[in-house]
Amino acid sequence: MAAFTQKVVAEVIEVQEFPELGNAYQVRGVPLTVINEKYSFTGAANEQMLLDHVKKALSKNLEGDS
Amino acid sequence: MQILNDSDREIVKNRFENELASEVNITLFTQMDLGGLIVPGRECETCAPTEQLLKEVSEISDLITFKKLDIRNDAEEAARCNVSKIPSFLVSKGAETNVRYLGIPAGGEFPVLIEALVNVSSGEPKISEETKRFLDGLEENLLIKTFVTPN
DSSP letter assigned to residue B14: H
In a domain, B105, yes or no: yes
pLDDT for res A66: 46
Q: Does A31 touch chain B (CB under 8 A)?
A: yes
In a domain, B39, yes or no: yes
Residue B88: domain span: 6-136
In a domain, B15, yes or no: yes
ipTM of the complex in this document? 0.93
Question: CATH number of the domain that B71 lies in?
Answer: 3.40.30.10
Q: Does A49 touch chain B (CB under 8 A)?
A: no
Kindly report, residue by residue over A9-55, the tens digit of the pLDDT.
Answer: 999 999 999 999 999 999 999 999 999 999 999 999 999 999 999 99
Domain boundaries, chain A: 1-66
B42: pLDDT confidence band, cut at 50, 70 and 90? Answer: confident
In a domain, B148, yes or no: no
Cβ-contact B77, B69 below 8 angstroms = yes
Cβ-contact B103, A14 below 8 angstroms = yes
Q: Is the pLDDT of residue B86 over 90?
A: yes
Q: How far apart are CA B28 and CA B30, in angstroms?
A: 6
Give burial (CB, 10 Å; 0-12/13-18/19+) of B71.
buried
In a domain, B143, yes or no: no
Task: Count residue pairs from A and B with Cβ separation < 8 A.
Answer: 145
If one counts the domains in chain B, the total is 1
In a domain, B150, yes or no: no
In a domain, B98, yes or no: yes
Give how far B89 is from chain A: nearest CA, Å.
10
